[in-house]
Chain A
Amino acid sequence: MRYMLLIYFDEQDLSETERQECYVDSVQLARELNSSGRYLAANPLHPVSTATSVRVREGKRLVTDGPFAETREQLGGYFLIDAKDLDEAIGTAAKIPMVHKGTVEIRPVVEIPGLPTG
């Protein structure tokens, strides 16, 4: 079963050194997951100041600057993993470096047929 682990934290509350450490530790975690076949994808995201939101309403495209919602903590990265159940996903979420400063939201992935693989 696939789970999306969404990593939320306060971007302002992260120094450059901490960011670099977080990258190193996250790569380590991704490799660990990969060695047991549970890694699917992972990436940090650029800050919300680089975000663009798009909507199409009544055929008209509306492009705005900024994230979907202004919140105290922002979506800053993700892991897409394979896990046998929620407890295993919780175990992986607890190993994500930013879990100590922010929050990891676990969302089970809906499997729909017809998507290209790899």
Chain B
Amino acid sequence: MTENAAGRAREMVEATYRSESRRVLATLIRLLGDFDLAEDALHDAFAAALEKWPKDGVPVKPRAWLVSAGRFKAIDTLRRRARYDASLETLALQLEADSRYVEPRESEGVEDDRLRLIFTCCHPALPPEARVALTLREVCGLTTEEIARAFLTAPPTLAQRIVRAKAKIKEARIPYQVPSRADLPDRLETVLQVVYLVFNEGYSASSGATLTRADLSGEAIRLGRLLLELLPEPEVSGLLALMLLHESRRVARTSPSGELILLDDQDRTLWNRGQIEEGLALVERALSSRRFGPYTLQAAIAAEHAKAQNGAATDWARIVGLYDLLVQANPSPVVELNRAVAVAMRDGPSAGLVLIDAILTRGDLDAYHLAHSARADLCRRLGKTVEARVSYQRALDLTQQETERRFLERRLAELPD
């Protein structure tokens, strides 16, 4: 092989790693039944490709080649370890027997493996923060350091979370499978929660100096697309639409100096039309299924904002109607708060204030800064300056997020004496 061709083969290995490594890993986990063994096998397989492909040429079916190489590397590893633990020899023999009968197939089952991996990483028997970490690590291929940085966690803490989750998968035998039809709605909900959590952490970071961490949101949208491709359920469309519609406003949401800009004051020409178009189409698709849930309803609300030319042209009556449905589908004080704000836009600030005060009196949202800042805003519009000041101050005391703090301080300063 010429020097040139060898170079191309090396580039091909790198390109294959970027596009196929998560698929190969998912299949190896199924074949080997062990996350760590599969990860080692994956790296060994790519190391072998770097050595062989420049010499022998790129195989016709690179993915099948990698799966097969990974499996044989894993058998070697088990054989080596069997010198210390005899039970591993049996496992190695089983794997070897398997590989004689089951030739890795190129297309069949590969996508199922990725879906299996998602459901295993998001299993409800794992603690929520471990589901997020494991999904980003195994499905998205982020490094432990990257995930730790994104969630402002010390890398050793995060690494330990992943180690514990993998140990539980192994010891409690959390299965590597797509749940049965009967369990699917509940289990899908857990998966969607993980994806949305990753998105939200990227979109409105819960603490820290900047408002968004774009990489995480991008990762969540990629996950959403993958999930929709593998499991075209209405709520998956709804969630992807919701994320795209929020993401479309990212640039308009903060000023060049990093200040928060509210929806009403945003420059709508900065909204990403491509993401809006895609989001709107997905919302329509989900709504027409008549099997939609809370994500689709939230996306439909975001779609109303996306469709409006400006704040005044927003169809608040329809938004309140969608919130009514959302309160039924997913009753929560935060949804009620958002509904109250929409009612204030439809019927005037005093109508909204009555609703917010009722929610706050119940005590559910007393520690939620957005409830107090929403109340403050309505008081301000009604000319109740003293009450507005108290509520802005309460909101300020409750948030750690720098950009939001600066926003609230600005609002406080703008109040007339």
**Interface residues, chain A, with chain B CB atoms under 8 Å away:** 1, 84-87, 90, 106, 108
Contacts and interface: CB of A to CB of B under 8 A. Distances in A.
B128 interface: no
A90 B180 CA distance: 13
Interface in B229-253: none
B73 to A, nearest CB: 26
Nearest to B169: A86
B175 interface: yes
Contacts of A1: 173
A87 B179 contact: yes
Please classify the interface of chain B as helix (H, G, I), strand (E, B), loop, or mixed, using the class held by over half of its residues: loop
B189 to A, nearest CB: 15
A114 to B, nearest CB: 15
A107 B328 CA distance: 36
A24 to B, nearest CB: 26
Contacts of A84: 173, 175
Given A86-B172, A87-B183, 12 more contacts: A1-B173, A84-B173, A84-B175, A85-B174, A85-B175, A86-B125, A86-B173, A86-B174, A87-B175, A87-B179, A90-B125, A108-B171
B126 to A, nearest CB: 10
Nearest to A3: B172
Name the 5 nearest CB pairs between A and B, nearest first: A85-B175, A85-B173, A108-B172, A86-B174, A86-B172
Contacts of B200: none
Contacts of B174: 85-87
Contacts of B173: 1, 84-86, 108
A84 to B, nearest CB: 8
A66 B38 CA distance: 48
Chain A interface SS verdict (over half): mixed
Contacts of B123: 86
Nearest to A87: B175
Contacts of B171: 108
A63 B175 CA distance: 42
B177 A87 contact: yes
Contacts of A86: 123, 125, 172-175
B70 to A, nearest CB: 23
B255 to A, nearest CB: 49
Nearest to B176: A85
B125 to A, nearest CB: 6
Contacts of B179: 87
Nearest to B182: A91
A106 B175 CA distance: 15
Interface string B99-114: 0000000000000000
Nearest to A106: B172
A108 B167 CA distance: 12
B237 to A, nearest CB: 26
B283 to A, nearest CB: 33
Nearest to B177: A87
10 contacts: A85-B175, A86-B125, A86-B174, A87-B174, A87-B179, A90-B125, A106-B172, A108-B171, A108-B172, A108-B173
Interface string B120-142: 00010100000000000000000
A25 B171 CA distance: 30
A68 B222 CA distance: 49
Nearest to A110: B171
Which of A84, A85, A87, A108 has most B Cβ within 10 Å?
A87
A2 B179 CA distance: 21
B170 to A, nearest CB: 10
Nearest to B171: A108
Nearest to B180: A87
A118 B125 CA distance: 31
Nearest to B125: A86
Contacts of A85: 173-175
A79 B94 CA distance: 32
Contacts of B125: 86, 90
A90 B177 CA distance: 15
Interface string B304-342: 000000000000000000000000000000000000000
A87 B190 CA distance: 15
Interface string B157-188: 00000000000000111110101000100000
Contacts of B183: 87
- Candidate in A1, A86, A90, A108 with the most chain B CB atoms within 10 angstroms: A86
A46 B60 CA distance: 67
